[in-house]
Amino acid sequence: MSSLSNYNTSTSPNERVSKPRTTRATARTSIECSHAQASRATMPNSDQSIDKVEYNNSSGEILNPPPSLGRKSELDDHVAKAFQDTETLTDTFVEKVTYILKLALVHDRNKADARKERRAFREIKIKYLEQIKKYENTLSPEDEARYRERKLEEARACRKNAEVADSSLHREKVELEFKLSLAQKENSKLKKELKKANNTHENAEVLND
């Protein structure tokens, strides 16, 4: 009690000098504390597995642990989200997508069939030309001359038939164009008559009012 009384009497509140308190620690102290906290945070407990422990780098920052073998990667999550988005599509859109896929399959099948037909036609044509070549090699000069004359006549006949077909198509085209012009004239005439009838009907309504 005497010492306490001596202390109180020896120094008054006005005479006491308090040391300024520092609001933050020094850099060295903060680094040591952060390393200590990080080392304590990374140590696994008895009930904690090694995969759940967070790892820290040299700067003391806590990082996520590397993915284990049984863990899904971010790419798998992204793909899963993309497939989950398809559930939000409407039935109409799904039907359109299915229809487009069917058209693509049919188109590919048609292309494959056409490719097979062209290949078969090319093979048949090659065999035909080979047979003609063999036949021409067996002909005598006189027979070869007659054969060439006959082939020339066949070519002329084919050309004439093509010209006839072309002329008939041209004639049909002219006839269709003429019919189209007549139909357009009739259409314009009907439009004028309809417009005239509408005007007459409107005038009659105005007079009745």
> Across all residues in the chain, what is the average pLDDT?
69
Task: Please give the pLDDT value at position 77.
Answer: 54
Q: Kindly indicate the confidence band of residue 117, based on its pLDDT and cuts at 50, 70 and 90.
A: confident
**Mean pLDDT within 70-90:** 52
Percentage of residues in the chain having pLDDT higher than 90? 1
Task: Please give the pLDDT value at position 48.
Answer: 47
- Indicate the pTM of the whole model: 0.30
Task: Please give the pLDDT value at position 108.
Answer: 78
Q: Kindly report the CA angle at 32 between 55 and 37, in degrees rounded to 5?
A: 40
**Model confidence at 43: pLDDT above 70:** no
The residue among 71, 12, 62 whose CA lies nearest residue 34 is 62
How do residues 142-170 score in pLDDT, each as one tens digit? 888 888 888 899 889 989 998 998 888 88
Task: Please give the pLDDT value at position 198.
Answer: 79
Task: Please give the pLDDT value at position 101.
Answer: 77
171 versus 32: the higher-pLDDT residue is 171
How do residues 6-25 score in pLDDT, each as one tens digit? 444 445 555 555 555 555 54
156 versus 55: the higher-pLDDT residue is 156
**Model confidence at 49: pLDDT above 50:** no
CA distances from 26 to 17, 29, 32, 33, 62 (A): 24, 5, 10, 11, 21
Cβ 55 vs Cβ 41: under 8 Å: no
What residue segments make up the domains of the chain, in order of their start?
26-66
Tell me, what amino acid is at 132? I
* Max CA separation in the chain (angstroms): 156
Token duo for residue 36: 């200590």
How do residues 166-201 score in pLDDT, each as one tens digit? 888 889 888 988 888 888 888 888 888 888 887 877
**Mean pLDDT within 88-112:** 72
CA distances from 7 to 3, 12, 13, 14, 17 (A): 6, 9, 11, 14, 14
Q: What b/e readout covers 147-167, taking b as 16+ CB neighbours within 10 angstroms? A: eeeeeeeeeeeeeeeeeeeee
